[in-house]
Amino acid sequence: MDENKIKWVLISVLVLIASVAIHEFGHAMMADLLGDDTPRRQGRVTLNPIAHADPIGTLLLPLIGGLYVASGGIAGGFGWGRPVEWLPSRVKRKWSMATATILVAIAGPSMNVLLALVVAGIHGILWTQNILPHGSELNDVLFFTVYTNFILFFFNLVPVPPLDGGHVAQQLLPYRQRGAFDHYAKFGPFIVMALVLIPQIAQIFRIPAGFCFEHLYSLFGIHFS
């Protein structure tokens, strides 16, 4: 494995750390806005990556997976941040538990989209104004950051616990069907592993992420075909 591949593995891990941090910050900020100060008391209403990083899920597994892919593997590892703890019972009374749960759940993926839009917007301006040389390696880092955050957005919307989409789906189901959903939730971690580790299934997220990525950059006259 050459130095360039190792460098890109480290870059991908750093991008993931930042993306996970803003994702978890979204959950914490929304819970705080709804009236539950638990995340704030635990120091989670912050963009500091250290507050949201999990030693294994945010650092070790992404690093091992990246090295595996760089060495020729067809599927890498996956990662996660430290879950934000919050108490639905502590939110303001005007919010029902179901509504609060949905808002907190979608706040994380929404922050990933916001990060993708901000980075792409700044990058597009730098590109069109020729402030950032088109041959600069920083272009690839910014492209990767935008694409990664769209991937995270679509991945987390999958209605499988413990993903954010799973929490939303659970709250939207009629109460009489919650029991069946709880039974289905037991298999959630295995479904998530399949979604991440089987390349053919992972395409489910790459296709819409690529669509958003290409059409967003096309607004700045940047095309990839």
Which DSSP letter does residue 57 get?
A: I
Domain annotation covers residue 196:
yes
The answer to whether residues 16 and 62 touch, using CB atoms and an 8 Å cutoff, is yes
Q: Say if 224 falls within a structural domain.
A: no
Residues in the chain: 225
Identify the residue whose tokens are 């993926």.
109
- DSSP secondary structure letters along 176-192: GGHHHHHHHHTTHHHHH
Give the number of C-alpha atoms closer than 13 A to the C-alpha of residue 139, restricted to the C-beta side: 16
13 assigned to some structural domain: yes
* pLDDT for residue 124: 95
Residue 121 structure tokens: 């917007």
**Full domain range(s) for residue 82:** 3-218
**223 lies in a domain?**
no
pLDDT at 75 (0 to 100): 46
Peptide bond into 162 cis (omega under 30): yes
- pLDDT per residue rounded down to tens, the chain (225 residues): 678 888 888 888 888 899 999 999 999 999 999 999 999 999 999 999 999 998 887 888 777 766 765 565 444 446 788 999 999 999 998 899 999 999 999 999 999 999 999 999 999 999 999 999 888 899 999 999 999 999 999 999 999 989 999 999 999 988 778 778 888 888 888 888 888 777 778 788 889 999 999 999 999 999 987
Other CB atoms within 10 Å distance of the CB of residue 200: 7
**Cβ–Cβ < 8 Å for 199, 106:** no
CB 212 within 8 A of CB 94: no
Q: What is the DSSP-derived secondary structure letter of residue 157?
A: T
Burial readout 182-199 (b: 16 or more C-beta within 10 A, e: otherwise): eebbeebeebbeebbeee
Whole-Å CA distances, 124 to 37, 48, 118, 130, 131 = 38, 26, 10, 10, 10
C-alpha 154/C-alpha 112 separation (Å) is 10
Contacts of 52 (CB under 8 A, 6+ apart): 20, 21, 23, 24, 25, 44, 58, 81, 82
Token pair belonging to 37: 């100060």
User: 151 — phi, psi (to 5°)?
Assistant: -60, -50
The answer to whether residues 43 and 75 touch, using CB atoms and an 8 Å cutoff, is no
Q: Give the separation between CA 143 and CA 120, rounded to whole angstroms.
A: 8
Residue 162: φ, ψ to 5°? -95, 20
User: For residue 78, is it within any domain?
Assistant: yes
Domain presence at residue 201? yes
pLDDT of residue 84: 96
67 within some domain = yes
- Residue 225 placed within a domain: no
Query: What's the total number of domains in the chain?
Result: 1
